[in-house]
Structure 1
Amino acid sequence: MKVASTGQSFNFFSLLSGPLDAPRMSDSSEQHQPSAASQDGYVVVARRYRPKSFDELVGQDHVGRALVNAIETGRVGHAYLFTGARGVGKTSTARIFAKALNDPGGPTGNPDQETDVAQAIDAGEDVDVIEIDGASNRGIDEIRSLRANVGVRPSRSRYKIYIIDEVHMLTQAAFNALLKTLEEPPEHVKFIFCTTDPEKIPITVLSRCQRFDFAPVEVSKIVARLKEICAAEGTEADDTALELIARRAAGSMRDSQSLLEQLLSFSGDQLTAETVHQMLGTADDERLHALATAMAARDAASALSQLDAAVDEGVDAGRLAEQLLGYFRDLMAVTVGCESSMLRHTSAGLYDELSELGKRWGLQTVLAVVGLIDDTLVRIRHSVYARVLLESTLIQICHLPDLQSIADLAEAAKTLPEGARLSTTRSVAPETPGSLGAESKKKAPAVSPDSAAANSAPTPSTAANVPRIDDAHAASPPVSGNDGESSSRSEAPASVPAAAASAAATASPPVPAGSLSGKELWARALQDMDPMTSTLATSVEDVSIDESGQVVMTFPAKAGLAMGRCDKPVHRQEIVESLRRLTGRDHQVIIKASTKAVAEDKPVAKAPQKSRVQWMREVEANSLVQSCKEVFSAEVTKIDLPRNDAPRR
């Protein structure tokens, strides 16, 4: 059987059966040459420096340790699920695990890399380790073929291992067809699934697998691995340049190696930070810091000049917005007190400058800037005017208010003693009802010229209105008189709002006790209440007010909701206050339900409904129907009636 190279297109499922007459892999070097090599023998960096053992895995020590312990203790499962972002080593770990299980010397955590089996697995050509692309082989027919060939024993190895990459791309029907085989496969079969989106995998499949989550690779570990590759390639690289590549890879080892290969082709034997920025179209940390400093100084013109210079040097506006978001993320981390090891997008050498800028700007303003840039990035992805959107965002940031100072003032106000806050808000409260009446008389003509009550002398019962006017005064600061002291009596009405002054000027005098009946007094009280309480109180069936000041409100049995609302403290207090303003005395309010029996609605007797047989007889007795039957030799087979006249069956 001839096995095609992985660089060519072929059907993986032609290898699923693992024919027993398949020839063994030869020991020739030509047989073990990587299939990804082109005609001149070149293999890309990401494949040439692919890890071949658990010790070479970068950033996934927890996964390697768990798999090695499972092999050494004999606790190897039948199905594994490797999840994580792209390029973090999922498929490489699956191949290493396959080599460890099929090592000729027995399952071992340190397989021999010189055996035919190991070299064939590294090249992707082993007949017992079947790698399947779940994106292109996602249908139920492919899974049925897999199930049909699972029972065939491996050709030369201990296990037949299926590695399905991007398994989340399989259809629901394909997953359902795989469930039984996945739960109870033959002893010689192992499944290893790799995916970047485990949320799309059915829970029935997840529960049958041992799951390992691959974490993003740390920047320091990526830099260390890139140094090894550069040394092997005979290239000198600055640490700053490798750090830029590692940060740009965002935790993906494969992406960092692909970027390194691209830069090696561009720069030759010397790799510098300037080369990286020039090739990737990004801005350096100094330019980002200068741009942030200009925005902190509220200098919009300088910020736009910095942006223009960066664009002229080849920096993409959308990429610059992404870099700014990362820069302000690090600025946010420094502002809250994180160490330099927490910086993810800027170099550690800028820690002091970031700390100073964070103190100058304030945490609240930095958080607002992060939100603005994030919204801009969303809009940039749906627009062709990235530069215009970024420029408008920079101008908005330059004109942001000092949010940190506002937050500090609000926090300081919370820490003031209660007495100090009361003295500040109540410094202009009137001292006596008489002084309040004088103030009302002075300001009444300016507010309500036509009010006759403004010219009337105040009565002692006017004191009942004092608390409500105090609330209007509470929001106004003290007014200094000519003698330098706080004038809380003669000048206080100047700070009273017009509505409150008008209410004080036109306030009706109290009603003398006994001058009005209970119903008349209640009608006037309803007009004085706030709209919500008045609406609820109008549902009363009877109101009685005796001479002792007791008010009994009787609600009908059907108005239970209104009675319950009126019994709430806020509405009950409003009723008491309304009566106090009218009578100048306090009242005790009693709310109860009526004891009258509610007349129940008698059901209306419905006319007896005709049956289908009765309707049929009446129709057949109709003279017109009888004539139709005689002329056409017909018979009545069905009667269609309106829905409300449908007969009983």
Structure 2
Amino acid sequence: GRYRPQRFADLVGQEHVARGLAGAIESGRIGHAYLFTGARGVGKTSAARIYAKALECAARQEGEPCNTCSRCQAIASGQDVDVIEVDAASNRGIDEIRQLRQNVAVRPAGGHYKTYIIDEVHMLTREAFNALLKTLEEPPSHVKFVLCTTEPEKLPITILSRCQRFDFQSVDAPAITRRLAQIVEAEGVQASPEALGMIARRAAGSMRDSQSLLEQLLGLAADGSTTISVDDVQAVIGIGSEEKIGRLIQAVVDRDAQRALAALDDALSGGADAGGVLEQMLAALRDCLVASVGCGPEAFLAGDGYGIDFTATGKAAGTETLLAMLQIIDHGLARMRQSTHATVLAEMAVVRLAGLEDLDNLN
């Protein structure tokens, strides 16, 4: 999207990666293969493109690309023939990698290097890995590889051992909120801090998800007359007001199935979708869980809009009971992915939750 980071300094929450890559380029100690690991949407492919730009940019400063020269602009728009992006999920076979090996031998057309960015590299077949390994073992000096993956544990050790590895962190909600505030300001739109915080929590560590949610909201506020509010966010992402979800959780914890179903219906009739409600319950009960084992408020993620005292509720409900509750919700969410009757599944989950025995006081 248009908010994709264009410099290492723009990578939110990945300062260690930015320093490492900019430093390597500035000092000329550039590895021939890097492995970027981390969850989806945290900036792996963006960082790979910035790295490709910085390698080629004649006007770079302190390892950062200038973003104005023709090479930088060509790479940013995907037009540069020496920067090749391969999606391993759809090109996973031996033929594609053989083709890549043949292309590797060809000198770069315009610059010093050819940079291969291979996304979701863990999807390659075993034969394809073996072919890639041959290239990684003796790469021509003009070739650089950046391998990106959400699942490094699936990579063969032979590949891992030949790459310099950078682990991208999931971005914490405050950092996402700060970045969203910058975007909103640049767009000349007003947004309440609570609304931005809600987007950040919903994105659960994925900078990209938070930005695509914000883009939907910017579309609504395009005429400039409106401020993006918590209500707008709830409407766009299909979640209930946190207050309503709080009442639902309280009813469940009180083991009042009738009140819990009424609270669920209230949230759904307000425009929330069933999956969104279960996700919110998961987030709030997770905070109760960590409180039940003695973690303090600094470990909470859900925010205080639910009107629930996570510490008191966690201690009262008990760890075993909360674990069972989270499993019920997780099961409901997993079933929803294959089902067309999401509301019934949410109702089943809520009734199960309200009917759960007190597992901590059974013995």
Instruction: Report the TM-score, using the length of structure 2 for normalisation.
Output: 0.89
Tell me the secondary structure at the aligned position of residue 181 of structure 1.
Answer: helix
Whole-Å Cα distance in 2 between the matches of residues 325 and 137 of structure 1?
36
**Higher RCO (CA-CA < 8 Å; seq separation 6+):** 2
Residue 211, structure 1, aligned to residue 168, structure 2: no
User: Does the C-alpha gap of structure 1 residues 267 and 359 become closer, same or farther in structure 2, counting only changes over 3 Å?
Assistant: same
Residue 48, structure 1, aligned to residue 2, structure 2: yes
Corresponding residue of 1:361: 317
| Contact 1:101/1:107 (8 A) holds in 2 | no
| Contact 2:274/2:346 (8 A) holds in 1 | yes
Residue 85, structure 1, aligned to residue 42, structure 2: no
Corresponding residue of 1:386: 342
| Contact 2:60/2:66 (8 A) holds in 1 | no
Corresponding residue of 2:11: 57
Residue 262, structure 1, aligned to residue 219, structure 2: no
Match of 2:279 among 322, 326, 329: 322
CA shift digits 1:369-398 (9 cap, x unpaired): 223323333444444443334334433433
Q: 1:220 deviation in Å?
A: 0.9
Q: Unpaired runs of 5+ in structure 2?
A: none
Whole-Å Cα distance in 1 between the matches of residues 316 and 95 of structure 2?
64
Tell me the secondary structure at the aligned position of residue 48 of structure 1.
Answer: coil
Matches for 1:336-351 after TM superposition, within 5 Å = 336-344=293-301, 346-348=302-304
Residue 229, structure 1, aligned to residue 179, structure 2: no
Q: 1:84 deviation in Å?
A: 1.7
Residue 197, structure 1, aligned to residue 197, structure 2: no
Whole-Å Cα distance in 2 between the matches of residues 48 and 380 of structure 1?
32
Tell me the secondary structure at the aligned position of residue 191 of structure 1.
Answer: strand
Whole-Å Cα distance in 2 between the matches of residues 379 and 141 of structure 1?
37
Match of 1:125 among 50, 67, 79: 79
Tell me the secondary structure at the aligned position of residue 216 of structure 1.
Answer: coil
The one-letter code of the counterpart of 1:388 is V
Matches for 1:110-509 after TM superposition, within 5 Å = 110-268=64-222, 269-344=226-301, 346-348=302-304, 353-406=309-362
Whole-Å Cα distance in 1 between the matches of residues 88 and 26 of structure 2?
31
Residue 70, structure 1, aligned to residue 24, structure 2: yes
Tell me the secondary structure at the aligned position of residue 259 of structure 1.
Answer: helix
Q: Unpaired runs of 5+ in structure 1?
A: 1-46, 408-649
Q: 1:75 deviation in Å?
A: 2.5
Q: 1:215 deviation in Å?
A: 1.5
User: Does the C-alpha gap of structure 1 residues 105 and 311 become closer, same or farther in structure 2, counting only changes over 3 Å?
Assistant: closer
Q: 1:162 deviation in Å?
A: 1.7
| Contact 1:138/1:169 (8 A) holds in 2 | yes
| Contact 2:184/2:191 (8 A) holds in 1 | yes
Whole-Å Cα distance in 2 between the matches of residues 366 and 106 of structure 1?
53
Matches for 1:502-581 after TM superposition, within 5 Å = none
Whole-Å Cα distance in 2 between the matches of residues 341 and 101 of structure 1?
41
CA shift digits 1:159-202 (9 cap, x unpaired): 22222223333333332223222211111211112222334433
The one-letter code of the counterpart of 1:206 is L
Instruction: Report the TM-score, using the length of structure 1 for normalisation.
Output: 0.52
The one-letter code of the counterpart of 1:370 is L
| Contact 1:135/1:169 (8 A) holds in 2 | yes
Whole-Å Cα distance in 1 between the matches of residues 26 and 345 of structure 2?
58
Whole-Å Cα distance in 2 between the matches of residues 137 and 360 of structure 1?
52
Match of 2:52 among 80, 88, 98: 98
**When the two structures are aligned, how many residues end up with a matched partner?**
360
Matches for 1:577-588 after TM superposition, within 5 Å = none
Q: CA RMSD in A?
A: 2.4
Tell me the secondary structure at the aligned position of residue 6 of structure 2.
Answer: coil
Whole-Å Cα distance in 2 between the matches of residues 249 and 332 of structure 1?
21
| Contact 1:340/1:351 (8 A) holds in 2 | no
User: Does the C-alpha gap of structure 1 residues 184 and 107 become closer, same or farther in structure 2, counting only changes over 3 Å?
Assistant: farther
Q: 1:326 deviation in Å?
A: 1.5
| Contact 1:340/1:348 (8 A) holds in 2 | no
Q: 1:351 deviation in Å?
A: 7.7
Tell me the secondary structure at the aligned position of residue 64 of structure 2.
Answer: coil
The one-letter code of the counterpart of 2:70 is D
| Contact 2:85/2:119 (8 A) holds in 1 | yes
Percent identical residues:
54
Structure having the higher Rg? 1
User: Does the C-alpha gap of structure 1 residues 381 and 158 become closer, same or farther in structure 2, counting only changes over 3 Å?
Assistant: closer
Whole-Å Cα distance in 2 between the matches of residues 314 and 336 of structure 1?
35
User: Does the C-alpha gap of structure 1 residues 399 and 111 become closer, same or farther in structure 2, counting only changes over 3 Å?
Assistant: closer
User: Does the C-alpha gap of structure 1 residues 191 and 108 become closer, same or farther in structure 2, counting only changes over 3 Å?
Assistant: farther
Tell me the secondary structure at the aligned position of residue 309 of structure 2.
Answer: helix
Whole-Å Cα distance in 2 between the matches of residues 149 and 398 of structure 1?
61
Tell me the secondary structure at the aligned position of residue 155 of structure 1.
Answer: coil
The one-letter code of the counterpart of 2:91 is N
| Contact 2:261/2:347 (8 A) holds in 1 | yes
| Contact 1:341/1:348 (8 A) holds in 2 | no
Q: 1:352 deviation in Å?
A: 6.6
Whole-Å Cα distance in 2 between the matches of residues 135 and 369 of structure 1?
35
Whole-Å Cα distance in 2 between the matches of residues 240 and 173 of structure 1?
50
Tell me the secondary structure at the aligned position of residue 47 of structure 2.
Answer: helix
